[in-house]
Every structure is written in C-alpha cells, then in structure tokens.
Amino acid sequence: MFTKTKMATALLGLAVSVAGVAQAADLVIAGRDDLMGRALEQSVAAYQAEHPDMDIELLKLPYGSLYEKLVIGMREGDSSFDLVMIDDTWATEFMSQGWLAELNEDRVSQDFIPALTDISRYPVGQGPLYSLPVVGNVAMFAYRSDLMDEPETWSDVIAQGKQLHTADRSGVVFRGTQGNPIVTGFLPMLWAYGGNIVDGDGAVNFDSPETVAAIRDFVSLREIAPRGIEVYNSGEVRDAIQQNKAAMAIEVWPSWVPTMDDPELSQVVNQVEIIPPPGEVNASTPMLGVWQMGVSANAENAAAAEDFLAYFTSANNQRDLTLSLGLPPTRSSVYSDAEVVDTYRWYPNQLNALRQGAPRPRINAWQELESIMGDYLQLALLGRITPEQAAQQAHQRMAAAL
C-alpha cells in the first residue's frame, strides 16, 4: 500500500511537470529582484500590452544568484536567456568573454549620460557597444542638513561626526560587513585620499602612503559608528539613517533611498541631503555602480530582446519607472524633468555625480580583489592589524590573485 502511494505521487509529479513544460517563450529575460525586478515587471506588462501575442518570461534573482546562474549558463553555452541584466563590476568579464552580442549603434541616444555608455563598450569608451545602462546608480553621501553643515572633506566628516555622536544617534553609519560590502563604502574615501587599487596598466598598486592614510581615517570612523557596524549591510544603513539613528551615511545608493521622504517609513523627511561624496587630497570622484542590460550571444530571440531593451530604456519608460518606483534613470533628460526633480530633491546632485563618476577598475578578477580587500579592511577596522599591514598584505594577496 505504501509503495502504491509512492508510485502514484511519482507519476503525479511526472504528469504535472510534463504538463508544465510550455513551448518556448518569445523572449526570456533574466534580471535582479527587488526594485529592479519590479521595474522590469512593470515594463514587461506595459510592453506586453503593445504586443499582446508575445509570450515573455521574466526571471528575477538575488544578486549573487543572478551572477552564478548567468556565468554557468553562458559558459555552458545554453541559450536560455535572451536579455540579461548585469552589474557594473561583471561587465568586463561578460564582454571580454564574448557572452554578449554587439548591439546596433543607432540604439545609443545622445541622451544617455556619456560616462555611462562609455562602460557599456568594450574596451571602455572605444569598442563596440554590448549593453545599455539601465539603472543610474552612483555612490552618494547622505547627511542631516538639520544637524550639520555640508561636509567639505573627509576630515570634516570625522570632526563633525565626533561632535554629533551621542548614545542615541551615531555620527556616521556605513556597511561594515566583511567581504564586498565594506569595500564599496571605503572606495570613495580611498580615491579622495589619492590612493588606488590598480594602476593604469592594470597592475596592483594598493600599498601606498595614500592608501594607509585612507585606511587609518576609515578605521577611525568606527568610534563614531553604531555598535555592531561590523555586520551592517545596506538594509541596516538605510534603517539607521531613516530611523534617525545616524547623522551621516558615507555610502548611499540612489536605489536604496526612494523612501527617504516618505513619512510612513522615514522619521527624517526633508532633513537628509544627498550629495556626491566629499574630497580630501583630491576632489570627489563618485563611484559608479551602473546596472546594464545586454543581449546574450546565444540568444534565440535577439531581435525581440533588442526591441524590448529599447523600450525599457526609452525616456518615457524611464520617467514612468522613476516616478512610480524611484528607479534611478540613465538619461539626462529624465533628470531634468520638472516632476521628477520635484519628487526626488537630490536628482540634480545625482546627475552631477553620474557625469563626474568613475567606474571601479575594469578587470576580470574584480570580485576577487574586492573580497580580498574587504577581508583585510575588516581586520583593520577591528584593530587586529594596523593600516600599514592591511595595505601591504592586501596588496600582496591581490597581486597573487591577478
């Protein structure tokens, strides 16, 4: 009797799954979950309304999962996805491996912010176009304008942070989690102090007096940060600033903060200014984190993929997505739209930051370098090693990894 039930369930399983295999879709898209996923979903629905006969499948995945799935699918040569969404730091790998198809040049409107379309090309700025920028993310800096003046330099951040630091509200907040998160908070500081990870030739150039100075000041931020900063990630950073628990957030991405002025979720409505990060030795170099979309080199439906991409990145659609979801646009015209600026006060600052922005180094092994740097930064943050040791040891290890 036991076995009969088992057989029945197994057969049922087979039947259901066979029935579930529909015929191939007309367009298969793989993208991120969360805000970007909702933006894709909304756009697919709108596009579908114009093309009622099309069967479009949209797969939404978390950050790490999307990367794993895309790399393995691309490497094994499976053409399961036509249009894929990739992070800025994966772009070099995807383009240099030939995983993305060249796009038609007349898709590039002059309206896109030039710094963003530059990194859609491989080699950067010169080569053929492999993707279009779809999310205009750039690392910004948030501070409480009701409590303090706009900080000019990182030294100023530390000085004002010390004054504002209390038991109830810390001076600064940042992502302190080991590995990649801690690095993105640190990079704008590194650049402002004149430090670098790799030089112009792509060789590791991390161990320098500038780097040591940047690490030293970064580590000193821990004293004016909330307890537990060592395991803070983006969610904790956003909560801290929105719940009035921190006076400054040294790294804020526009797609994190559309709710900053929403009285239901934020206790600091209209009290937070979002600006490009401060400078120090150098003027500020905002860090780009632009999400892009490209057509898979194995795509079965390449034409449909390009057509949807054009629709998705059109000025009209970007404006809709920005107003309804807060997705940061990549076109200049959307940033100057009166209604958009009215909704998101910081958009003019953001446009400036995007125009002056610099991408992270264009190397294949970036994820590994970033992770190595993150490990040593956290050891330094916790005082296990000195800033000098961190710079030197991270340098050696990164050089070995390259």
Kindly tell me which of 81 and 154 has the beta carbon lying closer to other proteins.
81
Angle at which helices 209-220 and 366-381 cross, to 10°: 60
CB of 108 to other proteins, least distance (A): 28
Assess contact for 314 and 334: CB atoms under 8 A.
no
Q: Which of residues 238-257 bind other proteins (CB under 8 A)?
A: 238-239, 243, 245, 253, 255-256
Residue 258 DSSP class: T
Kindly tell me which of 157 and 246 has the beta carbon lying closer to other proteins.
246
Kindly tell me which of 57 and 156 has the beta carbon lying closer to other proteins.
57
Which listed residue (40, 43, 80, 192) binds other proteins by CB under 8 A?
80
CB of 333 to other proteins, least distance (A): 26
What whole-number distance in Å separates Cα of residue 397 and Cα of residue 389? 12
Among the listed ranges 123-131, 170-178, 295-303, 323-331, the one in contact with other proteins (CB under 8 A) is: 170-178
Kindly tell me which of 115 and 183 has the beta carbon lying closer to other proteins.
183
Count of CB atoms situated within 10 Å of the CB of 367:
16
Count of CB atoms situated within 10 Å of the CB of 390:
27
Which listed residue (49, 64, 149, 201) binds other proteins by CB under 8 A?
64
Among the listed ranges 104-112, 200-208, 222-230, 270-278, the one in contact with other proteins (CB under 8 A) is: 222-230
Residue 112 interacting with other proteins (CB under 8 A): no
Q: Which of residues 364-383 bind other proteins (CB under 8 A)?
A: 364-365, 367-368, 371, 375, 378-379, 381-382
**By three-state DSSP, how is residue 256 classified?**
helix
Query: Quick check: bond before 359 cis, omega within 30?
Result: no
Assess contact for 323 and 339: CB atoms under 8 A.
yes
Residue 222 interacting with other proteins (CB under 8 A): no
Tell how strand 246-252 and strand 140-144 pair up. Answer: antiparallel
Q: Which of residues 259-298 bind other proteins (CB under 8 A)?
A: 264-265
Residue 46 interacting with other proteins (CB under 8 A): no
Residue 45 interacting with other proteins (CB under 8 A): no
What whole-number distance in Å separates Cα of residue 209 and Cα of residue 145? 33
Assess contact for 135 and 288: CB atoms under 8 A.
no
Residue 228 interacting with other proteins (CB under 8 A): yes
CB of 150 to other proteins, least distance (A): 25
Residue 62 interacting with other proteins (CB under 8 A): yes
Residue 131 token pair: 């993707």
What whole-number distance in Å separates Cα of residue 232 and Cα of residue 191? 22
Q: Which of residues 300-359 bind other proteins (CB under 8 A)?
A: none
Residue 120 interacting with other proteins (CB under 8 A): no
CB of 248 to other proteins, least distance (A): 17
Assess contact for 321 and 253: CB atoms under 8 A.
no
Which listed residue (40, 60, 92, 351) binds other proteins by CB under 8 A?
60
Q: Which of 58, 64, 67 is nearest to 40 (CA)?
A: 58
Assess contact for 246 and 170: CB atoms under 8 A.
yes
Residue 65 interacting with other proteins (CB under 8 A): yes
Beginning with the edge strand found earlier in the chain, give each strand of the sheet holding 27-32 in spatial order.
56-61, 27-32, 83-86, 291-295, 132-135
Which listed residue (235, 283, 324, 336) binds other proteins by CB under 8 A?
235
Residue 230 interacting with other proteins (CB under 8 A): yes
Residue 23 interacting with other proteins (CB under 8 A): no
